[in-house]
Structure 1
């Protein structure tokens, strides 16, 4: 953990220089402790079948410009902590990690794309403590309870600056809740396919702005779980002013989205500011390649 061997993933992600990290062949990596990723790193699994599983997950703490692409993150557990290298010039004592697949803490300009995830001890992807400028796209999620947490505390209003976009993801079998669960910030949920949830799909507290646009929400057969949304720790008098809007979503099998806030007469943002969307009826096509792709050298993915 302190002196990683050159050529290993832990050695590469802790270097000072910007690096595009790829894999020479397919492999399964078990992380004994959390993998602390330095700024300016691209982890690119294309051309190989890469599993991060049966160990700890990724930590992005106070970093910028990180891309994680084309890998599978399965069956993640907590690391026990200890001395762990976090940069080329520093290592330090770490406490037990939470067991997140990807933990984003005080970081920005992060892109998670074409990643397949299932069964993490805590969250699959958590972004907290003022993290912002995050895009999660083309990913496939299954087999988990609390999928994504954006903003960890009702008392930390530093997350007001948080801006996160979710698009072209597939939220699949045996998921329960938090796709995502949001606090304070601005969240654009675009052209995702929600085919399973057991409690709810999108939730939040502390006045987040959530624009759901062009998603497909297929409700479970359980009549007690038809609502897409869940607001927590707030009375209706409080949350009726929260801006939660559903625009061109496709609501299937009795699903319904409880909107709140002032009625939007026009899009609340311009093309320059946010990604454009297609209607929810397009989602099956837009998300059909969600998850890690099978790519081969010399051929298009």
Structure 2
């Protein structure tokens, strides 16, 4: 078995900053700000997660409490924030996080479950947000998406996350009229999509690199390429349940084009199990991007039974300690 990524990110508290693989690799989160301690499970007020996220200065947000935070409305996250759930078990419910017109966000080791209401996503990234890393989060059972990336949001990595008990899991590019979404670039790796129905992900316009993910027992399809999207699927494991179609292509018309088009998928080293069917367009290999055009290295191993076993236990929220803060870096944000 090869080496899983991020062997050193838990060596000290801020070691994860700038450590993502893929398109989100430049995200530093709250690297240059003081620590903000969440001391209450209340939705708002002093010491709350919402209070920390709304502040304009860089902050590294950690938790002194464990439990469920019931959000009565979307929790907007401002730029240069790390929301670091290591060392505690924090579940967000009711609503989700909204990353709107922001940059340099790291979200690590949280649970999202039971989001209710129209257009309520676990993590909604729109518009114009960039340099984002979502790592080791567990997401399930929202009324809309679990992670949606739309409206010119780009340079994003989603890694080591666990997705379950859901229909429309991850949407990248919301509508064929949003032609500026051609800028979208997302990396998704070492994630486990556990029986979720569809959209692992569904992509419009953007460039998406999928590698070393495990998707099993989907309900419609595993991955969907729609209008002008380019998906590079590398060393993933697709294990079918009753539905065997792994790759789907939806044809839509961009508003500035005369003809409708689907997207393209390039599959390299993927493992298809239990009758999973990989239907590829013949032009896919020639027309999709290659990740090496954008970043030099990423941690990749062959799709195998051993990788599948690791992804079932090492994705999503983990019971791990909060790493120690570096010497001289432990300032507390004023309440």
The answer to whether residue 154 in structure 2 is matched with residue 132 in structure 1 is yes
Q: Partner of 1:194: helix, strand, or coil? A: strand
Instruction: List alignment gaps of at least 5 residues for structure 2.
Output: 1-42, 254-258, 325-335
Q: Select between 103-112 and 253-262 the one with higher mean Cα deviation.
A: 253-262
Q: Is the 8 A contact 1:215 1:283 kept in 2?
A: no
Whole-Å separation in 2 of the counterparts to 1:182 and 1:297: 35
C-alpha distance 277-297 of structure 1, shift in aligned 2 (>3 A): closer
Residue 148 of structure 1, CA deviation: 0.5
Pair 1:166 & 2:188 matched: yes
Task: Give the corresponding residue for 1:57.
Answer: 96
Computed over aligned residues only, the root mean square deviation of the Cα atoms, in angstroms, reads 2.4
Q: Distance in 2 between matches of 1:276 and 1:298?
A: 23
Question: What is the match of residue 29 of structure 1?
Answer: 69
In structure 2, the CA distance between the partners of 1:265 and 1:151, relative to structure 1 (3 Å rule), is closer
Q: TM-score, normalised by structure 1?
A: 0.84
Is the aligned partner of 1:248 residue 2:287? no
User: CA distance change for structure 1 residues 253 and 294 in 2, over 3 Å: closer, same or farther?
Assistant: same
1:154 and 2:176 equivalent?
Answer: yes
Q: Give yes or no for the alignment of 1:144 onto 2:166.
A: yes
- RCO (CA 8 Å, sep 6+): is it higher in 1 or 2? 2
Q: Is the 2:230–2:289 Cα contact (8 Å) retained in structure 1?
A: no
Query: How far apart are 1:238 and its partner, in Å?
Result: 6.5
Q: Among residues 215, 219, 229, which one is paired with 2:240 in the alignment?
A: 219
**Which deviations, in whole Å up to 9, do the C-alpha atoms of 1:172-228 show, x marking residues without a partner?**
13x1101100000100011001122011010131110001000000011x2xx2111
Within 5 Å, give how 1:206-285 maps onto structure 2.
206-220=227-241, 222=242, 225-233=243-251, 242-260=263-281, 261-263=283-285, 268-270=290-292, 272-273=295-296, 275-281=298-304, 283-285=307-309
Q: Structure 1, residues 23-81: CA drift from partner, whole Å, max 9, x if none? A: 1021210001110110000001110111112x111100010001111010000113xxx
Q: Determine if contact 2:232/2:288 at 8 Å carries over to the other structure.
A: no
SS of structure 1 residue aligned to 2:197: strand
Runs of 4+ aligned residues of structure 1 deviating over 4 Å after TM superposition are 237-240, 264-267
1:121–1:204 distance in 2 versus 1, CA, 3 Å: same
Which one has the bigger strand percentage? Answer: 1
Q: Is the 8 A contact 1:23 1:45 kept in 2?
A: yes
Correspondence 1:114 to 2:136? yes
Question: Does the C-alpha gap of structure 1 residues 35 and 267 become closer, same or farther in structure 2, counting only changes over 3 Å?
Answer: closer
The count of aligned residue pairs is 272
Cα pair 2:98 2:123 within 8 Å, conserved: yes
